[in-house]
Amino acid sequence: MSVIKANNIHKTYTETAVPVHALNGVTLSVEEGEFTAIVGPSGCGKTTLLNILGGLDTPTEGTVEVANTDITGMNDNQLINFRLQNIGFVFQAYNLIPVLTNKENVEFIMLLQKWPRQEREQRAMELLAQMGIADKANQRPSELSGGQQQRVAVARALASKPKFILADEPTANLDSKSTANLLDMMAQLNKEEQATFVFSTHDQRVIDKARRVITLEDGKIVADITR
């Protein structure tokens, strides 16, 4: 089943002196359970595409469907609610809330979704255990290494069982060992929970782990390889 369908996506930024054509007619679909990397040189449109797929940005032209729902015409409030219910995000800057414990960070989306407290806490602890940091549950993000913080961020993205997880350069700030550990854990979660991951990345280690690699150049898909 397709969880994402993007059709003829164009994105032009007109705020600059010369218009910037970031995406030029991108069409793709992502199936449930995929582990996909979007790759290409800097400025090729990777992050723009990821933001449009996640409803963080809107295309100049074209449509995006998530779980058979067209999100292209939604207003800001509708998009906020839709993202909350359907999409998990992992960013290179972690974006954890510093005043919350790691367990509370994982629980945060479920709290917004009004999950019962016991279910929230159980789900958070299960995910922290899967990520190998259950013993850090009551610490705060500042007490963790970068790799451990990114594991908390991945657990938070997965917590409410979203339709898919978008990860924008999730290993950019990590050393080799932390990257390898994180990728192994995400691959395991992909297998065990059928979690769908879509990465934008320059990192060859992520590319090597991906089962599908979509290459962008000048805002267009120039290769789409499943292996």
What are the residue ranges spanned by the domains of the chain?
2-226
Q: What would you measure as the largest C-alpha separation in the chain, in angstroms?
A: 54
Residue 92 confidence (pLDDT): 83
Specify whether the CB–CB gap between 193 and 202 falls below 8 A: no
Which residues on adjacent β-strands are paired with residue 61?
A: 10
What spatial distance separates the first Cα and last Cα of the chain, rounded to whole Å?
Answer: 19
Q: Give the Cα separation of 5 and 82 in Å (integer).
A: 16
Q: Give the Cα separation of 60 and 66 in Å (integer).
A: 18
pTM as predicted? 0.90
Mean pLDDT of the chain: 93
Residue 129 confidence (pLDDT): 93
**pLDDT range class, residue 177, cuts 50, 70, 90:** confident
Question: In the predicted model, is pLDDT for residue 43 greater than 90?
Answer: no
Task: Render pLDDT for 205-220 as a digit per residue (tens, 0 to 9).
Answer: 999 999 999 999 999 9
Q: State which CATH number among 3.40.50.80, 3.40.50.300, 1.10.3720.10, 3.40.630.10 fits the domain covering 2-226.
A: 3.40.50.300
Residue 193 confidence (pLDDT): 82
